[in-house]
Structure 1
Amino acid sequence: MKVKINGYGQRPEEAEAMQEQVQQRDTVDDIVDQWARARPEIDSGPMALIGRLRRLNLHVDSALREYFTQHGLDTSEFDVLATLRRAGEPYELNARALLKSAMVTSGAITNRVDRLSAKGLVERHPCPGDRRAVLVRLTPEGKELVDTLLLGHVRNEERLLAPLDQGERTQLDALLKKLLVAHGDVERL
């Protein structure tokens, strides 16, 4: 028996279920409707897309914050720990590399490293080749914590993406990447 697949790689029943979800109204629909009444000459399509991205970001940030708070960290602290961990042994980077990865000010990185250092999760070392530079290194406790939290973090992200099937995830990922590249987010770490 052949299974009919639509243009998005979905079976008809999957496409129907997705269409049903899309037909449900969200908060952004109300905002778009208000703009349509107030300024009908303006195309509110861009507002709808950006509004949904912004609102989704709030939900994602909240879920990530809740998970890391349960483990005595905030999202930005986990970001530093994860950046050091994925750098490979000896799990250290200079402040400039951390800054590049986090896309925040140098003061923000200093504050994060200070907090993590106070918790015994990272330590600072002088850079052998440059006395002015400092290396930030995971402590064994920091490595253990990031390794422990990583699996739960990925499960949390999986839960957030659960409404999308693999094809939808791939499509969304490609579209978001296209937007990021178009806006110059192409700097290599």
Structure 2
Amino acid sequence: MDVEEIIKTEKSIPLESRTLIHISLVENKINDIMGQAIKPFGVSLQQFNVLRILRGQKGKPANLSTLNDRMVTKMSNTTRLVDKLILKDYVNREVCPSNRRKIEITITPKGEADLLEIDKNIIEAERKIIQNFNLQELQELNRLLDKF
């Protein structure tokens, strides 16, 4: 990926700025590929993330705070994401019987079944994204990204 070509500049960009621009461009490319992978299912990347978190709960309900804490992309509109997933019959939202102020969210059987199908597309998208890296390069890239 040639940063200067993509942003259409001929002048030299300072290394620090070029690095951050490069990371942003890579993030956009990853989001585009992942977004295309889940598009047939009518869910956003954030909704997909919520479904994965709920599946990881292994049947235990989660509350909005738990979802927010575990989201890859932190956002304040988790309630809206959950509302959209309810409309698709992917999640249930119920009031906790022991604490009526607490809302519990669980993934539905339909949500779990469709998530298994989405997973197939995601695996293919991930392979496409990292196809130019070998195992050692991926380990080194992760080591470097950990420095952030």
State the TM-score, normalized to the length of structure 2. Answer: 0.89
Distance in 2 (alpha carbons) for counterparts of 1:49 and 1:119: 40
1:83-122 counterparts in 2 under 5 A? 83-90=53-60, 92-102=61-71, 103-105=74-76, 108-122=77-91
**1:177 alignment counterpart:** 146
**1:10 alignment counterpart:** none
CA deviation after TM superposition for structure 1 residue 29, in Å: 6.3
Counterpart selection for 2:2 from 20, 26, 43: 26
- Unpaired runs of at least 5, structure 2: none
- Unpaired runs of at least 5, structure 1: 1-24, 37-43, 180-189
Q: Report Cα offsets for 1:47-75 as digits up to 9, x if no partner.
A: 11111100011111111111111122111
Distance in 2 (alpha carbons) for counterparts of 1:80 and 1:133: 18
Distance in 2 (alpha carbons) for counterparts of 1:97 and 1:114: 16
- 8 Å contact 2:95–2:103 — kept in the other structure? yes
Q: How many residues align?
A: 145
Question: RMSD over aligned Cα, in angstroms?
Answer: 1.8
State the TM-score, normalized to the length of structure 1. Answer: 0.71
Distance in 1 (alpha carbons) for counterparts of 2:146 and 2:96: 35
Counterpart selection for 1:168 from 114, 137, 141: 137
Distance 1:30 1:123, change over 3 A: closer
1:80 aligns with 2:50: yes
Give the percent of matched residue pairs that are identical in Structure 1 and Structure 2.
Answer: 21
**1:153 alignment counterpart:** 122
Distance in 2 (alpha carbons) for counterparts of 1:147 and 1:112: 19
**1:61 alignment counterpart:** 31
Counterpart selection for 2:111 from 131, 137, 142: 142
Larger Rg: 1
Runs of 4+ residues deviating >2 angstroms: 27-33
Q: Report Cα offsets for 1:64-97 as digits up to 9, x if no partner.
A: 111111122111111110110112224x211110
